[in-house]
């Protein structure tokens, strides 16, 4: 699933995470929420790292650009793409 269109600065993404899945996947449920399945277990941050990499790849951004806003220990998480300051845009 490609999410590059909604990947704008300041955009937020609410998603439901399923750790220890049989295979990794990224989809939308009937309500339109993102569902991400990762094969890693939720131990020592492995599932979180896999989730962040999967979401970043779908958005076309680096994993370091995603900020976790809500849900550090839960299955429902909210990530945000931070706004880039105008000074940083001149460096690119």
> 57: domain CATH number?
3.30.1200.10
Record the tokens describing residue 84, joined without a space: 């880039």
pTM as predicted: 0.77
In a domain, 73, yes or no: yes
Q: Which pLDDT tens digit goes with each residue over 17-68?
A: 999 999 999 998 888 888 999 999 999 999 999 999 999 988 888 999 999 9
Contact 21, 51 (CB under 8 A): no
Q: How many domains does the chain have?
A: 1
In a domain, 35, yes or no: yes
Record the tokens describing residue 48, joined without a space: 């979180």
In a domain, 28, yes or no: yes
Beta strands in 1-92 (DSSP E): 12-18, 25-28, 34-37, 67-70, 76-80
In a domain, 6, yes or no: no
Domain range for 56 is 12-86
pLDDT at 45: 92
């Amino acid at each position: 699933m490609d999410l590059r269109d909604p990947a704008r600065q300041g955009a937020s993404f609410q998603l439901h995470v399923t750790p220890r899945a049989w295979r990794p996947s990224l989809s939308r449920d009937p309500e339109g929420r993102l569902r991400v399945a990762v094969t890693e277990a939720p131990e020592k941050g492995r599932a979180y790292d896999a989730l962040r990499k999967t979401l970043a790849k779908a958005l076309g951004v680096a994993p370091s650009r995603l900020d976790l806003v809500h849900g550090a220990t839960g299955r429902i998480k909210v990530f945000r793409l931070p706004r880039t300051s105008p000074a940083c845009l001149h460096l690119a």
